[in-house]
Amino acid sequence: MEKEILELLTEKKFVRLRSMLCEMNPADIAIVLEEIPDKDLPIVFRILPKETAAEVFAYMESDMQKLLIEAFSDAELKAMVDELFLDDTVDIIEEMPATLAKRIIKQTDAETRKMINRLLAYPDNSAGSIMTTEYIDLKRDMTVDEAFEKIRRVGADAEDIYTCYVIDKSRQLLGYVTVKDLLLNSRDSIIGDIMEEAVISANTLDDKEAVAGQFERYDLMALPVVDTENRLVGIVTFDDAIDVIQEAATEDIDKMAAILPSDKSYFKTSVFSTFKARIPWLMLLMLSATFTGAIISSFESKLTVFPALIAFIPMLMGTAGNCGSQSSVTVIRSISLGDIEFKDIFRVIWKELRVAIVCSVVLAVVNFIKLVVIDYWWLGTFDSGSQLLEIAVVCVTLLITVIVAKFVGCSLPIAAKKIGFDPAVMASPFITTIVDAISLLIYFTVASSILNI
């Protein structure tokens, strides 16, 4: 496909190229255009029909959008901005350097400019930042026929026409009707009679992830956004909600893996940006391992007397770390999905403790069997009888650390959330470091008391 397009381009067969591109989906055109040389990009772009061009533009990565805007004349830029949905325009402006952003805004009329500036002012993670102002509003005394007339008149410019919002003179949100309701009611029905008044709405400053969660919970197609006086100011559509849901999941996954989250895809992130996203946690975790090092150093002389104890350190720390991160990751994801709140902390701890006890007993027993039956009796890896005591040390440590690790793993994220920290940052790597230190302390304490050292 890309090859064919490149060929048509070099042979300057623009008519064929145009008809070929017109049969493709705008999202796919945007991907294909990434492969063609930068200098040809404006040429290909200019042969697309105006409307398709705007759609393709909205799907492009920001570096290509920048390239095109720089190549556009003011008239071309204006034509493009006129075709774009307002929320897409705002997204593009946010990614552009200041001079280009100003050039874009200059091409819009006074009212659009006011709207853009208002949308730009909403905080990055707010409902306001993902909403669009192009929706259909109706009055309660309209008939179904009048409503259809309005939809026909302004529908081409609206991002979602299937949910229409009913407002009064001061733009207070009264309810909504769907086009399905309009179609299934008689043409002279009054909107006020058929509208649904129990409308789920969001505030402009609500967290956008919470708003996306509403889409999932209520199977919404669009959600109205109101200001502090309950005046309708915009809507969020389901496609933006899906993007927020995916971004939020990726962000959580990044944080759990000790990476600073980025909103760019893998190959779009430069080596240096990837490095910058990864090095802070690596550095912090490396330096915080000083504690585990110090704990081992302080026990060094005793370890040289019982050197067999050294070999179990990775197993004990690893198992404790895995137990802790299982609990923390489960709890963090449940917090993200809204299944766990702060008030549930004791229910969570109670559940995790029971799971932990079963896990710890099973792990300790299996470990005991492995060490005694296989290593001690069968393989004879251990060389003296006193080392049965060492096996006891390992198993008792396992019993205790698994329970402690799961306790730390489940309670820390909830506590973090409560005091305003990000629970996802509390995940695996950070908890692992804490759990590592704790498991070593438990190991050496148990060893000291059982082995009398």
3-state percent helix, strand, coil for the chain, nearest multiple of 5: 70, 10, 20
Give the CA radius of gyration of the chain: 31
Edge-to-edge strands of the sheet including 137-138?
A: 137-138, 163-167, 173-178
16 binds a copy of itself (CB under 8 A): no
DSSP run (H or E) holding 450: helix 428-451
Q: Which residues pair with 36 in a beta bridge?
A: none
- Cβ neighbours around 298 below 10 Å, total: 10
Cα–Cα distance for residue pair 369/279, rounded to 1 Å: 41
Among 144, 329, 403, 426, binds a copy of itself (CB under 8 A): 329
Pick out residues in 180-199 that bind a copy of itself (CB under 8 A). 180, 183-184, 197-198
The three-state secondary structure class of 365 is helix
* Tokens read off for 228: 């502090």
Q: Please identify, among the stretches 3-11, 95-103, 112-120, 282-290, the one whose residues bind a copy of itself according to the rule CB under 8 A.
A: 282-290
Number of H helices, E strands in the chain: 22, 6
Torsion of CA 312, 313, 318, 320, to 10 degrees: 100
Among 15, 366, 373, 388, binds a copy of itself (CB under 8 A): 366
Looking at beta carbons only, is 72 or 215 nearer to a copy of itself?
A: 215
Cα–Cα distance for residue pair 118/27, rounded to 1 Å: 28
State the nearest-atom distance from the C-beta of 139 to a copy of itself, in Å: 19
Looking at beta carbons only, is 107 or 214 nearer to a copy of itself?
A: 214
Looking at beta carbons only, is 180 or 231 nearer to a copy of itself?
A: 180
132 binds a copy of itself (CB under 8 A): no
Among 258, 404, 408, 447, binds a copy of itself (CB under 8 A): 258
Q: Please identify, among the stretches 34-42, 68-76, 225-233, 348-356, the one whose residues bind a copy of itself according to the rule CB under 8 A.
A: 348-356
Pick out residues in 408-447 that bind a copy of itself (CB under 8 A). 428-429, 432-433, 436, 440
- Name residue 431's amino acid: I
292 binds a copy of itself (CB under 8 A): yes
State the nearest-atom distance from the C-beta of 70 to a copy of itself, in Å: 26
Of 191, 193, 188, 185, whose CA–CA distance to 165 is shortest?
A: 191
Among 64, 151, 446, 447, binds a copy of itself (CB under 8 A): 151
368 binds a copy of itself (CB under 8 A): no
State the nearest-atom distance from the C-beta of 188 to a copy of itself, in Å: 15
405 binds a copy of itself (CB under 8 A): no
24 binds a copy of itself (CB under 8 A): yes
Of 133, 99, 135, whose CA–CA distance to 118 is shortest?
A: 133
Residue 437 half-sphere exposure, CB side, CA atoms within 13 Å?
A: 16
The three-state secondary structure class of 224 is strand
289 binds a copy of itself (CB under 8 A): yes
Count of residues that bind a copy of itself according to CB under 8 A: 109
Among 15, 121, 286, 388, binds a copy of itself (CB under 8 A): 286
Quickly tell me which residue has 């003011």 as its tokens: 74
Among 1, 210, 279, 388, binds a copy of itself (CB under 8 A): 279
Pick out residues in 188-247 that bind a copy of itself (CB under 8 A). 197-198, 200, 215-219, 221, 238-239, 241-243, 245-246
Looking at beta carbons only, is 111 or 188 nearer to a copy of itself?
A: 188
Tell me the per-residue interface mask from 294 to 323 with a copy of itself, x by CB under 8 A, - otherwise. x-xx--xx-xx--xx-xxxxxx-xxx--xx
Of 102, 153, 90, whose CA–CA distance to 126 is shortest?
A: 90
Cα–Cα distance for residue pair 9/269, rounded to 1 Å: 29
Q: Please identify, among the stretches 98-106, 169-177, 355-363, 415-423, the one whose residues bind a copy of itself according to the rule CB under 8 A.
A: 355-363
155 binds a copy of itself (CB under 8 A): yes
- Cβ neighbours around 217 below 10 Å, total: 11
Among 108, 367, 387, 401, binds a copy of itself (CB under 8 A): 367
Quickly tell me which residue has 């799971």 as its tokens: 355
Looking at beta carbons only, is 121 or 279 nearer to a copy of itself?
A: 279
The three-state secondary structure class of 108 is coil
